């Protein structure tokens, strides 16, 4: 009997525990509270609210600016309206004086501008003239190389007699008379002080010995320079008849004379200041 009672008690305890477990497993007990989702913020509503506030602020600023502008106009009008006749006349005279001063200043500035332009033009013109004079002087003195239209004259060794300094000097003079601006004989630049003298084998031009065949280059009008040499009874005919020398004149649109001379210092002649 004691063992049966003990068994019944054990069964009763197990039944009670089972009931208690069911109670604990129910969700309604509140042991596990339900978590509710938070509602999302309305972004569009926030954006619209921000735009509305911005519009209100802009409207207020515009209103303030308009009020300030109208106040300034009213103050100006009231200032002029409160002036008497003498004050208005004084203000008008001061304005006219300022206008007159500005006009005078404008005239002065225009005059200065014209003077500067004139001076700049004069300086530019002087620079051009100086450059032209330098080039002309350089060509005449032989310091600068030259190019242009002209002729090339080749004179062979004389078969009858030796080509001498006198006939070559006559050739140079005829070319100059025909308008030759720059002349060179072989590798010697001809200038105003050039001299030619006879040598045992050829000629001496400004201290430099040259030998035939002689090549004379001249820059100028090709037709006029050719006529100066080939004219009947002229220097070309004399070279052929008297000296038995072959003479060939070749016109060209591009004669280059790059033989140059060093500038010389005059011992006695000075420029007039």
In tens, the pLDDT along 79-98 reads: 556 667 777 777 777 778 88
Partners of 189 in the β-ladder: 184
Using CA of residue 114, residue 115, residue 120, residue 122, what is the dihedral sign? positive
pLDDT of residue 12: 64
Check: CB of residue 29 under 8 Å from CB of residue 23. yes
Max Cα distance, the chain (Å):
183
Check: CB of residue 194 under 8 Å from CB of residue 141. no
Check: CB of residue 239 under 8 Å from CB of residue 161. no
pLDDT of residue 68: 61
pLDDT of residue 104: 83
What is the percent of the chain where pLDDT is above 70?
A: 70
pLDDT of residue 136: 80
pTM of the model: 0.55
Tell me the backbone φ, ψ of residue 72, rounded to 5 degrees. -65, -45
Inform me whether the pLDDT recorded for 135 exceeds 60. Answer: yes
pLDDT of residue 28: 47
pLDDT of residue 267: 80
Name which of 151, 185, 181 is nearest 167 in CA terms. Answer: 185
Q: Terminal CA-to-CA distance of the chain, rounded, Å? A: 164
Cis before 213 (ω within 30)? yes
Inform me whether the pLDDT recorded for 43 exceeds 50. Answer: no
Torsion angle defined by CA atoms of residues 222, 223, 224 and 229, in that order, rounded to the nearest 10 degrees? 90
Residues 207-261: tens digit of each pLDDT: 999 999 999 999 999 999 999 999 988 999 999 999 999 999 999 999 999 999 8
pLDDT of residue 127: 84
Residues 211-224: tens digit of each pLDDT: 999 999 999 999 99
pLDDT, the chain, mean: 79
Residues 3-21: tens digit of each pLDDT: 445 555 555 666 666 556 5
The CA distance from 162 to 212, in Å, is: 10
């Amino acid at each position: 009997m004691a063992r049966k009672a003990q068994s019944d008690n054990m069964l009763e305890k197990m039944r009670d525990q089972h009931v208690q477990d069911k109670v604990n497993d129910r969700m309604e007990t509140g042991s596990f509270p339900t978590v509710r989702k938070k509602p999302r913020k309305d972004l569009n509503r926030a954006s619209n609210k921000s735009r509305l506030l911005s519009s209100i602020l802009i409207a207020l600023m515009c209103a303030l600016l308009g009020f300030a502008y109208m106040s300034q106009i009213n103050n100006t009008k009231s200032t002029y309206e409160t002036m008497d006749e003498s004050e208005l006349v004084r203000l008008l005279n001061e304005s006219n004086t300022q206008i007159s001063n500005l006009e005078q200043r404008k005239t002065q500035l225009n005059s200065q501008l014209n003077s500067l332009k004139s001076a700049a033009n004069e300086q530019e013109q002087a620079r051009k003239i100086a450059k032209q004079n330098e080039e002309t002087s350089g060509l005449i003195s032989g310091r600068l190389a030259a190019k242009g239209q002209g002729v090339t004259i080749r004179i062979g060794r004389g078969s009858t007699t030796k080509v001498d300094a006198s006939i070559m000097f006559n050739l140079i003079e005829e070319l100059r008379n025909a308008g030759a601006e720059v002349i060179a004989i072989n590798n010697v630049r001809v200038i105003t002080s050039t001299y030619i003298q006879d040598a045992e084998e050829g000629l001496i031009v400004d201290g430099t010995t040259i030998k035939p065949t002689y090549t004379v280059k001249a820059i100028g009008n090709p037709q006029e320079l050719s006529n100066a040499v080939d004219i009947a009874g002229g220097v070309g005919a004399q070279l052929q008849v008297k000296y038995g020398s072959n003479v060939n004149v070749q016109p060209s649109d591009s004669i280059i004379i790059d033989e140059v001379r060093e500038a010389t210092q005059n011992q006695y002649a000075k420029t007039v200041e």
